[in-house]
């Protein structure tokens, strides 16, 4: 059980955090971090394992957000119904978008198709004013309401809510990585042709991965809608899509901890460097380029390197033989 | 009607120039340069600098911009694309998008977001063409654009490097085995691709203003043209580019001018859904 | 008859890589496919496994027409192939590589594994044992936690075979398994192939190493320029004039 040290300690800290930090602003940051941790985990399932890039996750996030917002505000549905429905809507769209490129076409088409899809959705959000409120935004979205008597409309309770979902998501991703399904996803990223030759239906699994990844992102989108009570199309632009990919890559693709690190860095850094707001994108893009070119294992691999330097290498001759759990980063 | 068509052709010509660079790079290097829009933007800004700060004429600006951006393209290829050449394509895609974002933001920091006009005398002089008055600048776009495309075609068909480029596009390994210097081919392809984007940026700048985010929309259009014309297909890009320009122009006048940019979208989606290999297929 | 290749042709535009090739492999046989370089042997394998679409002809496996099926379907029916060179999963350990093969036969569903039901745990145990047995069989146990990309060529070769074995093939297509091996390794390979065959698995192999082919194959088909030029037992092939000519004409080893 000793390898569960870290997650247990992290969970305890996360649970106790709001008792020590009551500042509303910091609570907001924590909540946003948690939401992006979930998104990063979802995106990492696709990008970190199958190595297929989705530029549509901003769109999925947005679709989930607007769908739930519309269902609750305009149709009077309950948060608890609209959230899963938003997730399903997103999943279905992902299935439609991904079907051709993933099951019938060659590799890079998927990234391009998702890019086109992402741009279309942003355009729709901007222009279909009667549905989405257009550029001036979608206002007065009701909060989540209560969960067995406990109101989730406050930051404190909402924080715990998202924390639970985040923990469940991380747990899910971890479990997947230890099963047949996880291995299938990882094999697709390493050598699709070989996977197919031993009997893996790669088209099916690529699509499945994308759909799961998108669905989860859509659900987080709906959380966001009811948390922030307001939505605007600019929140879901292509920059957002690139930020999400950046999180996954700089954190350490294909690992469980990597996306957590990546999400926290991307969310917290701009907050800490408020004064340098204009330089934010410049910094991120340089960071991303540097990671891609020099540090494919991301920040997570840096931690591994630091750990080795301090504590000595764990596995002598075999190098980083971590039983493949931490197949860090983009293929060498 | 005629003026609408002419406008369409001119816009189309700029699309053709940007798109042919993009499709050429894809055809030979097998990678979509997501920073291509920003290269176009860079071309426009360099030209702006030359005219406004150095005080030279438009033609000098054109020449200098094209040369500088061509060199920039080579540097880009050597710095970012070459090291990632043997890794999975996702890396190059991501690097190019990161570079594009970097360029866009740097441009924003340096020049600010306000659109600036590249002043040339040609923008105000007019000429009578097929019964309507057109500014000389627009005629220049058409003429220079056409000349450049013809030049490109001749180069690719007839010259030794052009043949090397075609061979590399078909089968990189075979080409290498035949003694073709792949590094050189890649550099030249990038140089030409970026040069054409810069040419487009410079030619259009006097008409449509220069600003840091101009690359984003331009890329979208170029991307649509490339997909519709077929990835790697330069001739396809010519047809698709002109077609898109015409559709946008006619659409803006006869359907709705607000949704002008959406036509590209819609075409892109339709093609990606129903005939992803493009209307003309890969070269 | 486990495999019937019926007048299979594969053309690439004007290039006729495989022309009207036919042969039948009996269940339990060790069958060799030989021929000079470029004769179309790997192309043939690609046709059999669905990687290439047939220009014409049929492939019948276990009485079922598998022509035109996707490679993953063909593999699921029990026709497994290895590749020339060493195609393994570089980022997986040896253990995980072979487990990929074993996974194809485990009955549990994804959600059962994720939750960790009793059935899933039992199935995992069975798979674990199977993988360890295969690793032992191919002398890879010591390296089981090494990453695929860090293995020696010889180990990678054996790993590819191990992974194929783990998916319980009925017929194993080996594409040049002995390339680059020294005589000792080749002898080991021969032994492994014999033992695999004794397990009831039909083996069809493409090879250039004549010693290996003559030694273990019961029947051999000889291909040159995409066409069958001879077929028979090793003794018959060795004395066949056309075969000798096809090889000598290209100066390759015989």
Which residue among A116, A281, A330 places its CB closest to the CB of B101? A281
Secondary structure string (H, E, C) spanning C89-158: CCCCEHHHHHHHHHHCCCCCCHHHHHHCCHHHHHHHHHHHHHHHHHHHHCCCHHHCCCEHHHCCHHHHHH
- Tell me, rounded to whole angstroms, the distance of Cα A25 from its chain centroid: 22
In chain A, residues with a C-beta closer than 8 Å to the C-beta of B84 are 292-293
- Assess if residue B181 is contained within a domain: yes
In chain B, residues with a C-beta closer than 8 Å to the C-beta of A282 are 102, 105-106, 109
For chain A, percent of residues with pLDDT exceeding 70: 92
CB contact under 8 A, A180 and C83: no
In chain A, residues with a C-beta closer than 8 Å to the C-beta of C110 are 176, 179-181
* pLDDT tens per residue across span A97-128: 999 889 888 777 888 889 888 888 888 888 88
User: Are C and B touching by the rule of 3+ CB pairs within 8 Å?
Assistant: no
* pLDDT tens per residue across span A147-206: 777 788 888 889 999 999 999 999 999 999 999 999 999 999 999 999 999 999 999 999
Calculate how close chain B gets to A157, using CA atoms only, in Å: 37
Asked whether the predicted pLDDT for residue C127 surpasses 70, the reply is: yes
Helix A57-69 to helix A108-127 angle (10° resolution) is 30
Residue predicted with more confidence, A322 or A186: A186
Size of interface A-C (CB pairs under 8 A): 103
Calculate how close chain A gets to C105, using CA atoms only, in Å: 10
What's the CA gap between B88 and A11, in Å, rounded?
36
CB contact under 8 A, B91 and A281: no
What's the CA gap between A21 and A43, in Å, rounded?
30
In contact, A40 and A244? CB cutoff 8 Å: yes
Asked whether the predicted pLDDT for residue A319 surpasses 70, the reply is: no
Q: Which DSSP symbol is given to A49?
A: I
Domains of chain A (ranges, CATH numbers): 24-311 (1.10.3470)
What's the CA gap between C254 and C245, in Å, rounded?
11
- Assess if residue B279 is contained within a domain: no
In contact, B39 and B197? CB cutoff 8 Å: yes
For chain C, percent of residues with pLDDT exceeding 90: 55
- Assess if residue B100 is contained within a domain: yes
Q: What is the layout of strands, in order, in the sheet containing C79-81?
A: C79-81, C171-175, C202-206, C30-34, C219-224, C227-232
Which residue among A108, A111, A285 places its CB closest to the CB of B102? A285
A229-249 mean pLDDT: 89
Asked whether the predicted pLDDT for residue B13 surpasses 80, the reply is: yes
Asked whether the predicted pLDDT for residue C249 surpasses 70, the reply is: no
Which residue among A112, A115, A330 places its CB closest to the CB of B91? A330
- Assess if residue B208 is contained within a domain: yes
Residue B98 sits at the chain A interface (C-beta within 8 Å) = yes
Instruction: Write out the two tokens for B14.
Output: 């700029």
Structural domains of chain B, count: 1
- Assess if residue B268 is contained within a domain: yes
Q: Which of B101, B112, B215 to mutate to test the interface with A (most CBs of A within 10 A)?
A: B101
ipTM of the complex: 0.90
Q: From residue C143, how far is each of B85, C139, C153, C159, C161 by CA, in Å?
A: 31, 9, 13, 10, 15
In chain C, residues with a C-beta closer than 8 Å to the C-beta of A209 are none
CB contact under 8 A, A199 and C72: yes
Q: Which of C103, C119, C151, C163 to mutate to test the interface with A (most CBs of A within 10 A)?
A: C103
* pLDDT tens per residue across span B21-49: 999 998 888 888 999 999 999 999 999 88
Name the one residue in this structure whose structure tokens are 């090889």.
C247
Size of interface A-B (CB pairs under 8 A): 93
In contact, B116 and B209? CB cutoff 8 Å: yes
CB contact under 8 A, B276 and A109: yes
In chain A, residues with a C-beta closer than 8 Å to the C-beta of B104 are 281
Residue B90 sits at the chain A interface (C-beta within 8 Å) = yes
Asked whether the predicted pLDDT for residue A323 surpasses 80, the reply is: no
In contact, A330 and A249? CB cutoff 8 Å: yes
In chain C, the residue whose alpha carbon lies closest to the alpha carbon of A319 is: C146
What's the CA gap between A38 and A323, in Å, rounded?
25
pLDDT given for residue A227 in this prediction:
92
A295-304 mean pLDDT: 82
CATH number where B87 lies: 1.10.3470
Asked whether the predicted pLDDT for residue A2 surpasses 90, the reply is: no
pLDDT given for residue A147 in this prediction:
78
* pLDDT tens per residue across span B99-115: 999 999 999 888 888 88
What's the CA gap between B89 and A131, in Å, rounded?
38
Which residue among C87, C89, C167 places its CB closest to the CB of A199? C167
Asked whether the predicted pLDDT for residue A330 surpasses 50, the reply is: no
- Assess if residue B281 is contained within a domain: no
B137-158 mean pLDDT: 87
pLDDT given for residue B168 in this prediction:
86
pLDDT given for residue C250 in this prediction:
54
Q: How confident is the model at residue B278 (pLDDT cuts 50, 70, 90)?
A: low
Residue C144 sits at the chain A interface (C-beta within 8 Å) = no
Which residue among B90, B97, B220 places its CB closest to the CB of A51? B90
User: Which of these ranges, A44-53, A121-130, C43-52, has the smallest mean pLDDT?
Assistant: A121-130
How many CB atoms are located within 10 Å of the residue C126 CB? 14
Mean pLDDT of chain C: 89
Calculate how close chain A gets to C178, using CA atoms only, in Å: 19
pLDDT given for residue B279 in this prediction:
63
Residues of chain C with CATH 3.40.50.300: 1-78+169-254
Helix B2-29 to helix B36-49 angle (10° resolution) is 120
User: Which of these ranges, A11-25, B252-266, C7-21, C188-202, has the smallest mean pLDDT?
Assistant: B252-266
In contact, C71 and A196? CB cutoff 8 Å: yes
In chain B, residues with a C-beta closer than 8 Å to the C-beta of A116 are 223, 265, 268-269, 272
Q: How confident is the model at residue B283 (pLDDT cuts 50, 70, 90)?
A: very low
In chain C, residues with a C-beta closer than 8 Å to the C-beta of A196 are 70-72, 75
In contact, B273 and B222? CB cutoff 8 Å: no
CATH no. for C1-78+169-254: 3.40.50.300
- 3-class DSSP state for residue A24? helix
In contact, B92 and B24? CB cutoff 8 Å: no
Partners for B (CB, 8 Å, 3+ pairs)? A
CA angle B178, B179, B184 (to 5 degrees): 125
A238-250 mean pLDDT: 90
CB contact under 8 A, A199 and C95: no
Which residue among A52, A107, A116 places its CB closest to the CB of B268? A116
Which residue among A101, A109, A123 places its CB closest to the CB of B262? A123
Which residue among C80, C106, C110 places its CB closest to the CB of A198? C80
Q: How confident is the model at residue A1 (pLDDT cuts 50, 70, 90)?
A: low
- Assess if residue B280 is contained within a domain: no
Name the one residue in this structure whose structure tokens are 């850094």.
A269
What's the CA gap between B29 and B82, in Å, rounded?
10
CB contact under 8 A, B101 and A279: no
User: Are C and A touching by the rule of 3+ CB pairs within 8 Å?
Assistant: yes
B127-141 mean pLDDT: 77
* pLDDT tens per residue across span C72-111: 999 999 999 999 888 999 999 999 999 999 999 988 888 8
Note down the domain range covering B81: 2-274
pLDDT given for residue B198 in this prediction:
94
In this prediction the pTM is 0.88
pLDDT given for residue A218 in this prediction:
96
- 3-class DSSP state for residue A332? coil
A293-317 mean pLDDT: 73
Q: How confident is the model at residue A325 (pLDDT cuts 50, 70, 90)?
A: very low
Secondary structure string (H, E, C) spanning chain B: CHHHHHHHHHHHHHHHHHHHHHHHHHHHHCCCCCCHHHHHHHHHHHHHHHHHHHCCCHHHHHHHHHHHHHHHHHHHHHHHHCCCCCCCHHHHHHHHHHHHHHHHHHHHHHHCCCCECCCCHHHCCEEEECCEEEEHHHHHHHHHHHHHHHHHHHHHHHCHHHHHHHHHHHCHHHHHHCCCCHHHHHHHHHHHHHHHHHHHHHHHHHHHCECCCHHHHHHHHHHHHHHHHCCCCHHHHHHHHHHHHHHHHHHHHHCCCCCCCHHHHHHHHHHHHHCCCCCCCCC
pLDDT given for residue B58 in this prediction:
85
């Amino acid at each position: 059980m000793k390898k569960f040290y870290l997650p247990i300690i992290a969970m305890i800290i996360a649970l106790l955090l709001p008792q020590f930090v009551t500042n509303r602003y910091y609570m907001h940051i924590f909540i946003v971090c948690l939401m992006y941790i979930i998104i990063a985990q979802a995106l990492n399932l696709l990008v970190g394992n199958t190595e297929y890039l989705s530029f549509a996750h901003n769109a999925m996030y947005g679709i989930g957000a607007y769908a739930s917002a519309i269902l609750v505000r305009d149709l009077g549905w309950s948060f608890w119904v609209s959230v899963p429905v938003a997730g399903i809507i997103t999943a279905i769209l992902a299935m439609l978008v991904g079907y051709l490129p993933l099951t019938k076409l060659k590799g890079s088409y998927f990234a391009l198709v998702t890019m086109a899809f992402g741009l279309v959705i942003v355009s729709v959000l901007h222009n279909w004013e009667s549905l989405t409120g257009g550029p001036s935004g979608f206002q007065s979205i009701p909060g989540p309401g209560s969960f067995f008597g406990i109101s989730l409309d406050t930051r404190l309770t909402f924080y715990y809510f998202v924390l639970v979902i985040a923990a469940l998501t991380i747990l899910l991703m971890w479990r997947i990585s230890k099963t047949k399904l996880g291995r299938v996803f990882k094999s697709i990223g390493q050598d699709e042709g070989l996977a197919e030759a031993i009997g893996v239906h790669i088209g099916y699994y690529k699509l499945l991965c994308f759909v799961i990844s998108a669905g989860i992102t859509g659900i987080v989108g709906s959380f966001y809608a009811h948390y922030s009570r307001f939505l605007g199309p600019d929140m879901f632009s292509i920059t957002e899509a690139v930020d999400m990919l950046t999180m996954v890559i700089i954190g350490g693709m294909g690992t469980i901890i990597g996306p957590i690190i990546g999400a926290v860095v991307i969310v917290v850094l701009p907050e800490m460097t408020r004064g340098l707001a204009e330089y934010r994108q410049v910094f991120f893009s340089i960071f991303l380029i540097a990671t891609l070119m020099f540090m494919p294992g991301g920040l997570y691999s840096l931690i591994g390197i630091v750990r080795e330097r301090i504590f000595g290498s764990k596995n002598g001759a075999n190098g980083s033989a971590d039983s493949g759990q931490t197949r860090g980063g983009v293929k060498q | 009607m005629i003026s609408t068509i002419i406008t369409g052709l001119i816009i189309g010509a700029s699309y053709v120039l940007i798109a042919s660079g993009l499709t050429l790079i894809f055809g030979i290097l097998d990678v979509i340069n997501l920073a291509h829009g920003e290269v176009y933007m860079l071309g426009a800004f360099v030209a702006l600098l030359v005219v406004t700060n150095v005080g030279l004429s438009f033609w000098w600006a054109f020449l200098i911009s094209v040369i500088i951006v061509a060199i920039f393209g080579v540097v880009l290829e050597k710095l970012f694309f070459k090291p990632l050449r043997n890794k999975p394509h996702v890396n190059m895609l991501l690097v190019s998008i990161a570079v594009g974002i970097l360029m866009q933001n740097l441009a924003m920091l340096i020049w600010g977001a306000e659109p600036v006009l590249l002043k040339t005398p040609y923008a105000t002089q007019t000429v009578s063409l097929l019964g309507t008055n057109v500014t000389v600048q627009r005629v220049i776009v058409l003429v220079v654009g056409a000349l450049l495309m013809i030049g490109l075609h001749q180069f690719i068909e007839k010259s030794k490097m052009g043949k090397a480029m075609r061979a590399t596009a078909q089968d990189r390994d075979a080409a290498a085995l035949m003694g073709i210097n792949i590094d050189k081919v890649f550099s030249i392809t990038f140089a030409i691709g970026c040069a054409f984007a810069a040419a487009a940026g410079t030619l259009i700048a006097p008409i449509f203003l220069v600003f840091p985010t101009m690359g984003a929309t331009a890329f979208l259009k170029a991307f649509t043209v490339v997909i519709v014309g077929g990835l790697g297909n330069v001739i396809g890009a010519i047809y698709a580019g002109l077609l898109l320009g015409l559709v946008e122009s006619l659409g803006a006048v006869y359907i709705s001018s607000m949704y002008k940019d959406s036509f590209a979208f819609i075409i892109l989606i339709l093609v990606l859904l129903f005939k992803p290999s493009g209307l003309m297929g890969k070269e | 008859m486990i495999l019937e290749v019926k007048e299979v042709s594969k053309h690439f535009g004007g290039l006729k890589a495989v022309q009207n090739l036919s042969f039948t492999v009996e269940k339990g046989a060790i069958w060799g496919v030989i021929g000079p370089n470029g004769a179309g042997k790997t192309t043939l394998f690609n046709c059999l496994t669905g990687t290439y679409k047939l220009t014409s002809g049929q492939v019948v496996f276990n009485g079922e027409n598998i022509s035109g099926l996707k490679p993953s379907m063909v593999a699921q029916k029990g026709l497994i192939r290895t590749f020339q060179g060493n195609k393994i999963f570089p980022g997986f350990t040896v253990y995980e590589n072979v487990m990929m093969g074993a996974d194809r036969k485990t009955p549990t569903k994804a959600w059962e594994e994720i939750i960790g039901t009793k059935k899933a745990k039992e199935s995992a145990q069975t798979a674990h044992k199977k993988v360890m047995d295969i690793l032992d069989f191919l002398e890879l146990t010591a390296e089981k936690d090494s990453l695929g990309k860090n293995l020696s060529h010889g180990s990678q070769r054996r790993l590819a075979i191990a992974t194929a074995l783990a998916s319980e093939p009925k017929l194993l297509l080996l594409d040049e398994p002995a390339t680059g091996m020294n005589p000792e390794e080749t002898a080991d390979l021969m032994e492994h192939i014999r033992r695999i065959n004794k397990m009831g698995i039909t083996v069809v192999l493409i090879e250039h190493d004549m010693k290996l082919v003559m030694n273990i194959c019961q029947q051999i088909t000889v291909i040159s320029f995409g066409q069958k030029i001879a077929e028979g037992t090793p003794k018959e092939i060795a004395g066949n004039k056309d075969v000798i000519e096809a090889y000598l004409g290209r100066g390759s080893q015989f």
